[in-house]
């Protein structure tokens, strides 16, 4: 069992947990992920590592209550424990002194972007952060991002905070003004990462994205997290989670991400009606 040391509500239905997992914290690197399971019957939830502290032995995760399993995770509190916390998994981000790098974060993607931006800055790169959300209420970790970046731009879809527009609007403006960066990294919803990759392809800018696909075992044996990269099949859990955004088959990824939508809706309905997901739900 892995104890929750602290819990913070960052935004509506978005939580930050600090989990006591010394062995994971000791080896964790920016860009890697963990798989958490609430209890013996729970689903395995893949979450990119948002932060880690080797001295305290803690790992920070951030998640949104998007379905039955994450809602169940969100009901826990400090002092509670999760059944499994496996990691670190995946290939770490390539961190180096690259010149100017632009880190684009959409929604909850701010959390996994943060440690990569921090490490890039430490390595000597000039880090430009662009973070966006639907509205002001969903903006979080702005202070952390300011520390991790040399420049930070914030935008909201509805204009309720700083400026109105999408992250791609800010990205294009920056490129047109300052020229091509050495690299762009985008983490967030699939449509956002696709939009960023499509745009940077126009300029010939190297672009990396971090995929969070359907997973089961997380070791490459089941093949559930397969993705098509440049016409080849890769597994997110062992080959990723980061891939060249210009080579990702986003249409396939979007289709696969909706594969269990009806089952997820049924599970949410069963949990809300009190039957706990077992047996027939009568609403």
How buried is 203 (Cβ within 10 angstroms: 0-12 exposed, 13-18 middle, 19+ buried)? middle
Quote the pLDDT of residue 247: 97
Quote the pLDDT of residue 279: 46
- Cβ atoms of 115 and 30 within 8 Å: the answer is yes
HEC profile of the chain: CEEEEEEEEEECCEEEEEEECHHHHHHCCCCCEEEEECCCCCCCEEEECCEEECCCCEEEEEEECCCHHHHHHHCCCCCCEECEEEEEECCCCCCCCCCEEEEEEEHHHHHHHHHHHHHHHHHCCEEEEEEEECCHHHCCCHHHHHHHCCEEEEEECCCCCCCECCHHHHHHHHHHHHCCCCEEEEECCHHHHHHHHHHHHHHCCCEEEECCCCCCCCCCCCCCCEEEECCEEEEHHHHCCEEECCCECHHHHHHHHCCCHHHHHHHHHHHHHCCCCCCCCCC
Residue 172 structure tokens: 């294009």
- Predicted confidence (pLDDT) at residue 23 exceeds the cutoff of 80: yes
Cα separations in angstroms, 16 against 31, 76, 189, 194: 17, 11, 18, 26
- Predicted confidence (pLDDT) at residue 128 exceeds the cutoff of 50: yes
- Predicted confidence (pLDDT) at residue 275 exceeds the cutoff of 70: no
Quote the pLDDT of residue 250: 92
Quote the pLDDT of residue 269: 59
pLDDT digits (tens, 9 = 90+) for 201-215: 999 999 999 998 777
* Of 76-80, 144-148, 217-221, 243-247, minimum mean pLDDT range: 217-221
pLDDT digits (tens, 9 = 90+) for 226-267: 899 999 999 998 999 999 999 999 999 888 777 655 655 565
Give, in words, the CATH class of 2-89: mainly beta
* Ligand-binding site membership of 237 (annotated): yes
Quote the pLDDT of residue 80: 97
pLDDT (mean) for 70-89:
95
Residue with the bigger pLDDT between 3 and 267: it is 3
pLDDT digits (tens, 9 = 90+) for 166-199: 999 999 999 999 999 999 999 999 999 999 999 9
* Ligand-binding site membership of 281 (annotated): no
* Ligand-binding site membership of 273 (annotated): no
- Predicted confidence (pLDDT) at residue 99 exceeds the cutoff of 50: yes
Quote the pLDDT of residue 41: 86
Quote the pLDDT of residue 89: 94
Q: Hey, how many other C-beta atoms are within 10 angstroms of the C-beta on 97?
A: 12
pTM: 0.89
**CA-CA distance, 192 to 207, in Å (whole number)?**
13
Looking at every residue in the chain, the average pLDDT score rounds to 91
Ordered by start, the domain boundaries in the chain are 2-89, 100-257
pLDDT digits (tens, 9 = 90+) for 40-60: 988 889 999 999 999 999 999
Query: Which residues lie closer than 8 Å to 88 by C-beta, 6 or more apart?
Result: 24, 27, 28, 29, 32, 33, 34, 49
**CA-CA distance, 37 to 186, in Å (whole number)?**
27
pLDDT digits (tens, 9 = 90+) for 213-227: 777 777 778 888 889
Closest by CA to 22, choosing from 90, 78, 87, 79, is 87
pLDDT digits (tens, 9 = 90+) for 102-124: 999 999 999 999 999 999 999 99
Cα separations in angstroms, 192 against 65, 134, 199, 208, 224: 19, 12, 11, 13, 23
Architecture of domain 100-257: 3-Layer(aba) Sandwich (3.40)
């Amino acid at each position: 069992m892995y104890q929750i040391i602290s819990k913070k509500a960052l935004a509506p239905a978005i939580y930050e947990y600090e989990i006591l997992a010394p062995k994971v914290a000791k080896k964790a690197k920016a860009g890697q992920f963990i798989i958490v399971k609430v209890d013996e019957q729970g689903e395995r939830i893949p979450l990119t590592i948002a932060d880690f502290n080797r001295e305290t032995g803690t790992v920070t995760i951030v998640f949104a209550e998007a379905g039955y399993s994450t809602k169940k995770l969100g009901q826990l509190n400090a002092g509670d424990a999760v059944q499994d916390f496996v990691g670190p998994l995946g290939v770490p981000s390539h961190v180096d002194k690259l010149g100017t790098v632009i880190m684009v974060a959409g929604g909850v993607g701010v959390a996994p972007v943060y440690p990569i931006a921090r490490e890039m800055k430490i390595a000597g790169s000039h880090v430009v952060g662009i973070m966006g959300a639907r509205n002001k209420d969903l903006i979080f970790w702005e202070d952390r991002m300011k520390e991790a970046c040399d420049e930070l731009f914030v935008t909201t879809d509805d204009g309720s905070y700083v400026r109105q527009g999408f992250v791609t609007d800010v990205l294009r403006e920056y490129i047109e003004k300052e020229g091509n960066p050495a690299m762009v990294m985008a983490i967030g919803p699939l449509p956002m990462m696709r939009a960023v990759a499509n745009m940077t392809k126009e300029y010939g800018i190297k672009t990396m994205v971090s995929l969070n696909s359907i997973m089961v075992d997380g070791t490459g044996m089941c093949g559930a997290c397969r993705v098509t990269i440049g016409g080849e099949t890769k597994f997110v859990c062992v080959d990723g989670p980061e891939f060249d955004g210009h080579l990702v088959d986003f249409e396939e990824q979007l289709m696969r991400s909706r594969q269990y939508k009806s089952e997820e809706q049924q599970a949410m309905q069963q949990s809300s009606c009190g039957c706990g997901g077992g047996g027939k739900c009568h609403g």
